[in-house]
Amino acid sequence: MKKIDLHTHTIPTDSDSDFEFSLPKVKEYVERLELDAIAITNHNTFDSKQYFEIRNSLSITVFPGIEVDLEGGHILVITDPSEFEIPDFELRCNKISSIIRTSEDTLSIDQFNEIFPDLSKYILIPHTDKKPNIKQETVDALKPHITAGEVASVSKFKRALKDDNGLVPVIFSDVRFKVQLTNFPSRQTYIDLNDISLSGIKSCLFDRSKISLTKESGNDFFQATDDGLVLSTGLTIILGERSSGKSVTLNKISASSGNAKYIKQFSLLHNDEQQFNDTNNARLSLVRHKFLGEFRKVVEKIVQVDLEQNHIDIENYLESLKKFASENEKKDLYSKCVIFSENAFIINDLSNLDKVIKAVETLIKNNEYQDIIQKHLESKKLKSLAIELNQKAFDSNVDNNKKNWINSLTSDITRELRIKTTGSVIEDLDFYKIALDEVKVNKFNTVVSELKTSRNIHREELGKFSIVTSTNQIVGASDLQKIGRDKKTYSTAFSHYNVSAYEYLLKLKELGVEDANLFNFFIKIESVTLNKDGFIVSGGERSEFNLIHEIQDATKYDLLLIDEPESSFDNNFLNKEINSIIKHISTLMPVVVVTHNSTVGASIKPNFLAITKKSIENGEFIYRIYTGYPSDKELVSPDGKKIENYKTLLSCLEAGLDAYNERKEQAYDILKN
């Protein structure tokens, strides 16, 4: 097995934050992580001079490469390190640099193929489950030269490995070798290969059975730190005496992972009420925006309706009409022209037609549900419908363009005639728009009336807790101040709340409420958190809720770390609520828990154990980590030292065998009968 990292950076570009390159850091990284090969893959650039400097300073294979912005995503292009290939590769990379000058620029697939006409010469590795992702259609266009895709984390690697229809997953560091670098990322890939070569690596990337996260333990384990600590991709429990290096180990795992959820000891007890409120407010905000999303669009349209101005326009129109009629017999040459009083053509609104076309195109292009779609709608008929709708859109656009041209010409002529005439002119008035505005306002009032009905709109179960969100009418100006989070005088606006939703909206706008925030002021949306008995949570239960929420929140991350949860919570809660959640999360991503507690340490049935120990050797403190399966008789450290699993577990979790037996006999067995 060979350990490789084909994604590293040595030059800051527009796609990076600025950094100062350090060659000693490259050497240290390669030595500490025991790498067999790396690739230099800077963003849209390749510097052969720097490449040779790095290659000549290392004893391992160094591949020349480049990370290319391709149609909105990133792809690694890696070539053979032979002296013959590098000059040609640099010339091609220079073409990329001349096209991509800013972080907004990107290559098209045609430009990419033009620069690299023979893709069989390279290893191509796109970002797949890593941002910015290469689009699937781009991957398809580059097949069969793409067989592997880079993922961002161990959890994504395991998920991709199970998908036989997807690309073979690889995971790399994406490291920037800067002077300040202290903790090296532990994201590398092992390949089943004896001798490192471009063709050898390519052959491995065709076969997911030749790719793994660890050298000897396959894909059920991963390297957690840059000093070689290997842990389970499921659940690992770390045990150890006080000051034996447990928290230090967690900190190193966090620093090496890049995207870990780290729940530190006692962190949930400090300001637990504030955290509880912040968590609920964030959740409430999401529910509010989801529930009021469509209503927000309605408000944004209605706020543009000005009925008062419409009524003024009608009055002006009627006055101009009466005046025009009274002067009918006095028309001059200009006002007698037919075009003088000509109405403009109405331009057809094609927005609904566009929506229908997009919907049909979605049905045609959808792959996931194509079997169901074709069961009810034949592909041939869908395509025929799409063609006819697009033809309709084309014809309607042509018709609108003709009308716009004629309206513009008519307007120019009419304007000139009206300048020269001495007669009265009838004011322009869009009766359809005015009538439509009246209908919109009436509908808006009806919608708001229905919106005010009290109802439960969302319920979420979180362990033993339930979060219930409901809507209610606003009952006073104080409610509006809470929604607005300000000291505006809302009483005048509120007086219209139950009279006319439209007038209420206008009064809010007069108060200075921003248009984008107006939709929030029509109902109260509140949530309550209930315990398993249906009562509002107590002060003591808030910390339990916070812990469950923080653990569940870990699904947004790549790794979950928890430091001594028993320091803040009782065993009954840990056993009944937390253990099952942790076990579930560990099926999705690696989870590491530091504990002294048997409820978490033993009852949870971890996949792997790590025990930290501190000893004095030759007058110095030595920290070791012993690892193994829970069923192993002995646990082993990286330097080959061994400890007995049974005695060590009892020492960490039960204060030793004697204390455990004494407690069992005197505290428990004596009460049994």
Distances in whole angstroms, Cα of residue 125 to Cα of each of 111, 208, 315, 400: 18, 14, 69, 48
- Give phi and psi for 243, each to the nearest 5: 60, 30
The whole-angstrom separation of Cα 524 and Cα 453 is 11
- The single-letter code of the amino acid at 205 is L
Distances in whole angstroms, Cα of residue 202 to Cα of each of 24, 120, 652: 29, 10, 47
Q: What tens digit of pLDDT does each residue of 524-550 get?
A: 999 999 988 889 988 778 888 888 888
Strands 221-223 and 230-232: antiparallel
Q: What tens digit of pLDDT does each residue of 10-24 get?
A: 999 888 888 999 999
Helix ranges (H only) for 269-378 are 272-291, 293-302, 307-326, 351-365, 370-376
Residue 266: is its pLDDT beyond 80? no
Q: Please answer whether residues 29 and 177 qualify as being in contact, where contact means their C-beta atoms are separated by less than 8 angstroms.
A: yes
Residues 121, 124, 130: CA angle, nearest 5 degrees? 170
Q: Please answer whether residues 525 and 454 qualify as being in contact, where contact means their C-beta atoms are separated by less than 8 angstroms.
A: no
SS (H, E, C) 91-112: HHHHHHHHHCCCCCCCECHHHH
Positive or negative CA dihedral for 203, 206, 207, 213?
positive
More confident residue, 333 or 188: 188
Distances in whole angstroms, Cα of residue 315 to Cα of each of 312, 428, 429, 438, 506: 5, 12, 11, 16, 22
The whole-angstrom separation of Cα 176 and Cα 548 is 35
Q: What is the mean pLDDT of residues 357-379?
A: 87
Q: 214-228, 331-345, 465-479 — which one is most confidently predicted on average? A: 465-479
SS (H, E, C) 22-61: CHHHHHHHHHHCCCCEEEEEEECCCCHHHHHHHHHHCCCE
Length of the chain: 673
The whole-angstrom separation of Cα 338 and Cα 599 is 93
Residue 454: is its pLDDT beyond 80? yes
Question: Which residues are registered as beta bridge partners of 77?
Answer: 66, 124
Q: Please answer whether residues 571 and 597 qualify as being in contact, where contact means their C-beta atoms are separated by less than 8 angstroms.
A: yes
> pLDDT value at position 125?
96
Q: In what order do the strands lie in the sheet with 591-594?
A: 260-263, 559-563, 591-594, 235-240, 608-617, 620-628, 634-636, 642-644
For 153, how many CA atoms within 13 A lie in the half-sphere containing its CB?
20
The whole-angstrom separation of Cα 245 and Cα 226 is 16
Helix (H, G, I), strand (E, B) or coil at 276: helix
The whole-angstrom separation of Cα 440 and Cα 116 is 58
Q: What tens digit of pLDDT does each residue of 164-208 get?
A: 889 999 999 999 999 998 889 999 999 998 889 999 999 999 888
> pLDDT value at position 618?
81
> pLDDT value at position 108?
93
Residue 660: is its pLDDT beyond 60? no
Q: What are the DSSP calls for 413-429, one per residue?
A: HHHHHHHH--S--PPP-
Mean pLDDT is lowest, of 154-158, 274-278, 668-672, for: 668-672
Q: Nearest-CA neighbor of 562 among 268, 269, 263, 266?
A: 263
What residues contact residue 344 under an 8 Å CB cut-off, 6+ apart? Answer: 407, 410, 411
- The single-letter code of the amino acid at 167 is L
Q: What tens digit of pLDDT does each residue of 520-529 get?
A: 999 999 999 9
Q: What is the mean pLDDT of residues 350-360?
A: 92
Residue 324, exposed/middle/buried by CB under 10 A (0-12, 13-18, 19+)?
middle
Q: What are the DSSP calls for 353-388, one per residue?
A: HHHHHHHHHHHHH--TTHHHHHHHS-HHHHHHHHHH
- The single-letter code of the amino acid at 496 is H
The whole-angstrom separation of Cα 413 and Cα 340 is 8
Band of residue 348 on the pLDDT scale cut at 50, 70, 90? confident
Q: What is the mean pLDDT of residues 226-242?
A: 87
> pLDDT value at position 538?
84
Q: What tens digit of pLDDT does each residue of 408-445 get?
A: 888 888 878 777 776 677 777 888 899 999 999 999 99
Mean pLDDT is lowest, of 44-48, 59-63, 336-340, for: 336-340
End-to-end CA distance of the chain: give it in Å, rounded: 60
Mean pLDDT is lowest, of 38-47, 348-357, 362-371, for: 362-371
Query: Within a 10 A sphere around the Cβ of 456, how many other Cβ atoms?
Result: 9
Residue 218: is its pLDDT beyond 70? yes
List, in order of start, the domains of the chain with CATH numbers.
2-222 (3.20.20.140), 246-259+557-672 (no CATH), 277-296+447-530 (no CATH), 307-436 (no CATH)
Q: Nearest-CA neighbor of 265 among 237, 246, 240, 290?
A: 246
Mean pLDDT is lowest, of 55-69, 219-233, 258-272, 341-355, for: 258-272
SS (H, E, C) 577-645: HHHHHHHHHCCCCCEEEECCCHHHHCCCCCCEEEEEEEEEECCEEEEEEEEECCCCCEEECCCCCEEEH
Question: Which residues are registered as beta bridge partners of 320?
Answer: none
Buried b (16+ CB within 10 A) or exposed e, 588-614: ebbbbbbbbbbbbbbebebbbbbbbbe
Two tokens, residue 156: 């994504």
Band of residue 44 on the pLDDT scale cut at 50, 70, 90? very high
Q: How far is CA 210 from the centre of its chain?
A: 31
Two tokens, residue 429: 């008035």
Average pLDDT, the chain: 87
